[in-house]
């Protein structure tokens, strides 16, 4: 399996998986952890980070709050659907 020639831009919690969309663009797909808000909850309690599915290409990044079981290692059709429903990440 060939990997795209770039690296994840976010905080990857999973191994990035290569994905080529229907237009031929190459993406890295991975589950990204979001930083914890220090003003919520008890500071002494263990908390898990929120997660989102992130798509990184050479030119842009997109994210979706949907993180289905097995992500990012899903069928290309599933990843395409998630990519189409994703939002652009501001840099």
Question: Angle CA(46)–CA(50)–CA(51) in degrees, nearest 5?
Answer: 135
* Tokens coding 74: 């899903």
Residue 24, domain member (yes or no) = yes
pLDDT in tens, 24-82: 999 999 999 887 666 666 666 656 668 999 999 988 999 999 999 999 999 999 999 99
Residue 27, domain member (yes or no) = yes
Residue 71, domain member (yes or no) = yes
Confidence (pLDDT) at 47: 60
Residue 9, domain member (yes or no) = no
> What is the SS3 assignment for 79?
helix
Q: Report the alpha-carbon distance of residue 41 to residue 91 in Å, rounded.
A: 28
Please give the model's pTM, rounded to 2 decimal places: 0.81
Choice between 2 and 78, residue whose per-residue pLDDT is larger: 78
Residue 24 backbone phi and psi in degrees, to 5: 90, 5
Residue 25, domain member (yes or no) = yes
Find the domain containing 78 and state its range: 17-35+44-88
Q: How many domains does the chain have?
A: 1
Confidence (pLDDT) at 44: 60
Confidence (pLDDT) at 48: 63
Instruction: Find all residues with CB under 8 Å of 36, minimum gap 6, and list them.
Output: 47, 49
């Amino acid at each position: 399996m060939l990997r795209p020639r770039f690296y994840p831009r976010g905080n990857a919690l999973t191994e990035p998986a290569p994905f080529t969309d229907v237009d031929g663009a190459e993406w890295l797909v991975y589950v990204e952890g979001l930083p914890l808000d220090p003003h919520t909850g008890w500071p002494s309690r263990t908390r898990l980070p929120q997660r989102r599915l992130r798509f990184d290409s050479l030119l842009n990044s997109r994210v979706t709050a949907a993180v289905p079981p097995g992500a990012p290692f899903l069928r290309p059709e599933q990843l395409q659907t998630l990519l189409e429903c994703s939002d652009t990440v501001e840099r």
